[in-house]
């Protein structure tokens, strides 16, 4: 493991004004997204859609530091034969790869899941590195409901995240460590804070046990936020203040950066929360975005599977990327949302 090189990649992933595009939707998830815009989820359509994003020159060069790819996408070529990985590299962004293989029911823990995919991961990482991937992502899913999460679920998912991270660094790949506490329930922000604190503390304990170099990783957490079904939801300033306080209590300063997931927030909500956190300032690590739906919902709708709409799709993507790029510096303003990117 060359830690200096890993740190260099990690720092580039959280470069000021830039964030990570999560374009790693599984086949099932991208089908749901395409169903919503009446587009058939064929391999060609998935390729064309992602090519549209990766050829959005202004967005990719100015506001996107890296792209998380799905296994299908990392091997695909654009219509003109250029590997999609090359399009990302040509824009000055870093290709990455989702390496977990989804979730399974956790034995003895009703309603809880464990992420799988560690078997043969070392061999897969070598192939992904050869294909151009310089970082990877693994997502653990922690739900909040009556009686859960259990310590069992927190422990096994944190252990798997740490093993994955150690394998990545051995393969000279920067791991994005993503322990996601879901916002699907009716819990309040304080319950989310408490659960996320337990999850992050356990995750970093396991990372230390597995001898993961913190300087060569990126954390991708949820924010401290109310559940979607909560009767009253915390406002932007409360989310920002509590999330920053939470992270300062759990995340060592050696970690180069934190790239938030949007986790079901609306486009503008995810942007406003990130902006408010960066306005607090005096942070030991960079705070940026690693958004999927919050970057892609608008361009998907604008594109709607039509070649004539590629320009409109790219404009919508550029606008959302620019808004989040500003938020990563604490320079976003709500009235900018009314002006579309040129």
What secondary structure does DSSP assign to 269-285, as a single string?
HHHHHHHHHHHH---SS
d(CA 20, CA 261): 10
E-assigned strands of 127-182? 135-142, 174-181
Angle between helices 310-327 and 43-54 (to 10 degrees): 50
What secondary structure does DSSP assign to 66-80, as a single string?
EEEE-HHHHT-B-TT
Global confidence as pTM: 0.97
Domains and CATH numbers, the chain: 3-338 (3.20.20.70)
d(CA 304, CA 301): 5
Give the range among 183-197, 247-261, 303-317, 326-340 with minimum mean pLDDT.
326-340
* pLDDT value of residue 337: 92
Angle between helices 267-280 and 293-303 (to 10 degrees): 140
* pLDDT value of residue 298: 95
CA neighbor of 141 nearest in space, from 162, 118, 163, 112? 112
Are 151 and 108 contacting, i.e. CB atoms less than 8 angstroms apart? no
- pLDDT tens for 54-88 read 999 999 999 999 999 999 999 999 999 999 999 99
Mean pLDDT, all residues of the chain: 97
- Count of CB atoms situated within 10 Å of the CB of 296: 25
Are 158 and 199 contacting, i.e. CB atoms less than 8 angstroms apart? yes
Mean pLDDT over 104-125 rounds to: 98
Q: In the structure, what pLDDT confidence band is assigned to residue 341 with cuts at 50, 70 and 90? A: very low
- pLDDT tens for 168-181 read 999 999 999 999 99
The SS3 assignment for 60 reads helix
* pLDDT value of residue 340: 56
Catalytic site residues? 178, 220
Q: In the structure, what pLDDT confidence band is assigned to residue 120 with cuts at 50, 70 and 90? A: very high
- pLDDT tens for 4-23 read 999 999 999 999 999 999 99
Q: In the structure, what pLDDT confidence band is assigned to residue 339 with cuts at 50, 70 and 90? A: low
* pLDDT value of residue 342: 42
Q: In the structure, what pLDDT confidence band is assigned to residue 338 with cuts at 50, 70 and 90? A: confident
* pLDDT value of residue 225: 97
Are 322 and 62 contacting, i.e. CB atoms less than 8 angstroms apart? yes
């Amino acid at each position: 493991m060359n830690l200096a090189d890993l740190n260099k990649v990690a720092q580039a992933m959280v470069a000021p004004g830039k964030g990570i595009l999560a374009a790693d939707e599984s086949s099932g998830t991208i089908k749901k997204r395409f169903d919503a815009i009446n587009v058939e989820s064929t391999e060609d359509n998935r390729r064309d859609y992602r090519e549209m994003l990766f050829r959005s020159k202004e967005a990719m060069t100015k506001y996107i530091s890296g792209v998380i790819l799905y296994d299908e996408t990392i091997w695909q070529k654009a219509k003109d034969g250029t590997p999609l990985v090359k399009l990302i590299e040509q824009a000055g962004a870093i290709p990455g790869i989702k390496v977990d293989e989804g979730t399974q029911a956790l034995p003895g823990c009703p309603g809880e899941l464990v992420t799988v995919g560690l078997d043969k991961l070392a061999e897969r990482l070598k192939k992904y590195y050869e294909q151009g991937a310089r970082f990877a992502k693994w997502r653990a899913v922690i739900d909040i409901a009556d009686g859960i999460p259990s310590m069992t679920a927190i422990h096994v998912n944190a252990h798997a995240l740490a093993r994955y991270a150690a394998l990545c660094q051995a393969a000279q790949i920067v791991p994005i460590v993503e322990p996601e506490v879901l916002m699907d329930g009716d819990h309040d922000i304080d319950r989310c804070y408490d659960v996320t604190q337990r999850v992050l503390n356990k995750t970093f304990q396991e990372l230390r046990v597995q001898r993961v170099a913190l300087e060569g990783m990126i954390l991708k957490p949820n924010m401290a936020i109310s559940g979607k079904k909560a009767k009253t939801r915390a406002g932007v300033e409360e989310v920002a203040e509590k999330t920053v306080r939470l992270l300062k209590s759990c995340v060592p300063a050696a970690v180069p950066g934190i790239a938030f997931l949007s986790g079901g927030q609306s486009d503008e909500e995810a942007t406003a929360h990130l902006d408010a956190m960066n306005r607090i300032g005096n942070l030991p690590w960079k705070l940026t975005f690693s958004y999927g739906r919050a970057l892609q919902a608008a361009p998907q709708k604008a594109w709607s599977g039509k070649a004539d709409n590629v320009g409109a799709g790219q404009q919508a993507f550029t606008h959302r990327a620019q808004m989040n790029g500003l938020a990563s510096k604490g320079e976003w303003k709500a009235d900018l949302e009314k002006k579309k990117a040129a």
